[in-house]
Chains A and B, each alone.
Chain A
Amino acid sequence: MSSGRELGHRISVFCLTFFSYAFFHANRKAFSNVKTSTGEVWTPSFHNTSVPALKPDYLWNAHHLFADNDAVVKFQGVLDTSFMVAYATGLFLNGYIGDRVNMRWLLSMGMASTSVLVFIFGCVCEWVSFYNKYLYCSLWILNGLMQSTGWPVVVACMGNWFGKSSRGVLLGIWGSCASVGNIMGALLVSSVLSYGYQYAFLVTSSVLFCASFIVFCGLIPSPEEVGLSGPDDEIVGQAYNGFAEGGREQREPLLGSEEEDIEPADENDEAVFSRQDNRMKNPSASDLSSASQEITYDLQDVKPASLSFWKACLLPGVIPYALAYAFLKLVNYSFFFWLPYYLHNAFGWEEKVADQLSTVYDVSGIVGGILFGYASDRLGKRTVMIMPMLVLSIPALFIYGNSPNDKLINSVMMAVVGLFTGGASSLISSAVSADLGCQKQLSGDSKALASVTGIIDGTGSFGAAAGQIAVPYLQTGLGWHSVFYLFMICMLLTAVCVFPLFVKEMRSLQCRCPGFLRRCWRRNSSHTHVQIIEEE
């Protein structure tokens, strides 16, 4: 069992999950970047009493899906929202499914079907000149459901391969996949848009389609599949032994900080029980007891059982973080969606300039995710790191909302806001989700990873959908200041949601300082430990 090969596997898992999610995002970006073109294609040319209608009709007035551009913008808003709601729902579903089926199959199936749906939406409908609102809506809802296979599966794979000690910084770096996907999508779209908007969809969807084959041929969802042990297995093993020998007291020091909300003993019983259940079921399917059947039986025994959806929800820390992420993603997503428009609308800057400036938020979010992720790795606590970010983001948002009409000051403030909100968002959606999904509460059962990721990101996406609806209403009704107050309230609510966990983590930091130091060291060195044991 060479560690070189393990490194190779890790690199390939990193790249495959990174690019699969990036290509998902490229497809989403393609839709938002061709909105102007689709708007043109779906409407007749503008004319009124003073502007005569353009002739010939087949060239200028043949398409009547919508009367004018306003109706198109409204419909595109409906598409965005229905996509988001479907995506949020799908995250819950696919997280649950992801823990039960082969994640490689689920991911490549999701990628392939997303690409087919995008292809039908963008290319087939255009080539056969069939424009129908209801078809577009249903395709986009299905697309949301299929795209949601991505996040839970890729985070679960990353969580399987990378231990808690390095998760913060690695998932922080890895979390840039969405932005990288956006950039790739924008580049692909702009390079082929002149051939017609349908080719923008063709290119992004076929890249995703091809990537689904590569994922199918190359992804190893968990180290167990190639006979390697998981990154945190050693700790888990100890914890489990500790539990077996002396119950909670011994197990306690090795645990993460998120625990206790429900009785752990029950959890373990449940897991053991379902394992026995598996054992009971399998031989019954193969009474012949041939050699190979025996083996299947043995392997099934090793495979950890999956947690039920409600059990996954009730894992300590999941509900607080899910709620917190709903408020946080509302702010984060609204920034992604509305920042260019805000800069254009509030300061009168050119759209191109506004587009370019708004990437500052994107980049500083990634930087924040990496920096605070690294810090949380060193500290061994995530909430302790996240809380100050959330609190500091409120004044940052207030100042940014009152930023003067100056590009430099504005982008500096934007970077500060991005560092805190974008960084916290990146931490919660990946590193915290992965931590919660394979916490020791599960007694070595890492099968809740995808479920927990799905629950947290799903709740977050519902928040994002709510923001998508709320922001335009607030902005047109009460102005941009009200939008910023909404953001500040949301950040405050985010902080309130994670406050109990913060208190708990702080207490564990203060009360058991010597223990904490020891534990910190242990956690950081656990990785090498595993390898040493393996090599022996």
Chain B
Amino acid sequence: MIPIRIVQVPSMLLIFLALLIGALVSSTSAKIPSICNLVCKSSINGTETFAFCESLSELTMTGRCCLNRTESQTLVVGIDLQGCGITEETFSDALVNMSSLLYISLEGNKFKGLSTTDFHSNTGIEFLSLPSKFSCPGSKGTWLNQSSDANSTYCFSEQNACDVRNVTCPSNSHCVHSGVDLVQCLCDEGFHGYKCLEQGTFPLTSFLASIILPTIALCILFFVTQRRYVIQQSSKVD
């Protein structure tokens, strides 16, 4: 029994350490999305995204992506996928967890069409370039400026869709810009529940106390003044 126990302890420790290291490694690598490591036909150098990334010292270019690394998180603020041969599905899947993109370039891909939802919750896109056959996603007023040349369509400065569409939300809720030409109605401060119908928290304990105590008091009062006089069957004959 004893040798087995001696062997067991280090081996379990080892397994634990291995798991820990593995988790650390995978978490650091997960911080950079795999789409950033694509090998594409066109060079990243000289692109709009590259220029933007170089212009600010806190940003770094990694593969196709421009990253803003802080101690707590790594944000992708720019992505250039020119000539990477991806589909809009691949693109949309990659963007699921990105919400702070400022620069996006998508020329030279096998895109058939793009919808506003493909950009997910990116609300501050400054520069978007698309293959020239596409027009800018969204509706009239979604972008501050649009232009196009032989190879590309350019969309500048995504606008707040709440203002553009002049959205009025139901009572107790307010409009929130949640993506390219997308809005949500979220509950106002203090409101919650389905359709934001509920406000505040019901004071359950004080309610129960304020109803149970008088009930007990009244029960006793009524028993003493009323039911006490009820003549029991055994005492009626006396």
Contacts and interface: CB of A to CB of B under 8 A. Distances in A.
Given A199-B202, A220-B227, A227-B231, A55 B219 contact: no
Contacts of A41: 194-195, 197
B230 A59 contact: no
B234 A196 contact: no
A213 B200 contact: no
B149 to A, nearest CB: 33
Contacts of B233: 292, 295-296, 299
A226 B212 CA distance: 28
Most buried by B among A207, A214, A225: A214
Contacts of B215: 210-211, 213-214
A54 interface: yes
Q: What DSSP secondary structure best describes chain A's contact surface?
A: helix
Given A59-B187, A59-B194, A195 B225 contact: no
Most buried by B among A197, A207, A218, A220: A218
A194 B198 CA distance: 6
The size class of the interface chain B forms with chain A is 35 or more
A45 to B, nearest CB: 7
Interface in B179-219: 182-187, 193-202, 207-208, 211-212, 214-215, 218-219
Interface string A68-104: 0000000000000000000000000000000000000
A247 B137 CA distance: 101
B198 A196 contact: yes
A225 B230 contact: yes
Given A206-B211, A217-B219, A295-B237, A8 B231 contact: no
B234 A295 contact: yes
A195 B202 contact: yes
Contacts of A211: 215
A299 B236 contact: yes
Interface string A21-62: 000000000000000010011000100000000111001101
A111 interface: no
Interface in B87-138: none
A54 B172 CA distance: 14
Interface in A285-304: 292, 295-296, 298-299
Most buried by A among B193, B222, B229: B222
Nearest to B190: A194
B229 A226 contact: yes
Contacts of A3: none
A299 B231 CA distance: 11
A213 B229 contact: no
A158 to B, nearest CB: 15
Nearest to A13: B226
A45 B198 contact: no
B226 A218 contact: yes
Nearest to A296: B233
Contacts of B16: none
A173 to B, nearest CB: 21
Contacts of A45: 170, 195
A219 interface: yes
A54 B226 contact: no
A203 interface: yes
Contacts of B212: 210
Interface residues of A, number: 43
B195 A203 contact: no
Contacts of A299: 233, 236
Contact of B185 (A5, A55, A62, A295): A55
Nearest to B198: A196
B68 interface: no
A217 B222 contact: yes
Most buried by A among B214, B223, B226: B226
B169 interface: yes
B178 interface: yes
A267 B230 CA distance: 31
A16 interface: yes
Interface string A220-251: 10000111000000000000000000000000
Contact of A194 (B169, B200, B226): B200
Contact of A195 (B184, B187, B198, B234): B198
Given A197-B197, A210-B211, A298-B237, A60 B185 contact: yes
Contact of B234 (A12, A16, A197, A292): A292
Interface string A382-397: 0000000000000000
A214 B219 contact: yes
Contacts of A55: 178, 182-185
B172 to A, nearest CB: 10
A63 B194 CA distance: 9
Interface in A165-203: 192, 194-197, 199, 202-203
A40 B207 CA distance: 26
A12 B222 contact: yes
B96 to A, nearest CB: 16
Nearest to B223: A217
Given A55-B178, A298-B237, A219 B226 contact: yes
Contacts of B193: 196
B186 A40 contact: no
A417 B218 CA distance: 40
Contacts of B199: 194-195
B194 A62 contact: yes
A182 to B, nearest CB: 20
Contacts of B226: 8-9, 12, 217-220
A5 B231 CA distance: 14
Given A55-B183, A196-B193, A213 B219 contact: yes
Given A45-B170, A218-B222, A227-B231, A37 B186 contact: no
B218 A214 contact: yes
Contacts of A37: 197
A295 B197 contact: no
Given A56-B184, A196-B197, A299-B236, A226 B222 contact: no
A226 B215 CA distance: 24
B225 to A, nearest CB: 6
Nearest to B212: A210
B158 to A, nearest CB: 17
> Shortest 6 CB-CB distances between A and B: which pairs?
A218-B222, A210-B215, A196-B198, A217-B219, A195-B202, A226-B229
Given A40-B195, A206-B207, 7 more contacts: A8-B225, A54-B170, A206-B211, A207-B211, A218-B218, A295-B233, A299-B236
10 contacts: A5-B229, A56-B184, A59-B194, A59-B196, A60-B195, A192-B202, A195-B201, A217-B222, A219-B226, A292-B234
Interface of A: 5, 8-9, 12, 16, 37, 40-41, 45, 54-56, 59-60, 62-63, 192, 194-197, 199, 202-203, 206-207, 210-211, 213-214, 216-220, 225-227, 292, 295-296, 298-299
Interface of B: 169-170, 173, 178, 182-187, 193-202, 207-208, 211-212, 214-215, 218-223, 225-227, 229-231, 233-234, 236-237
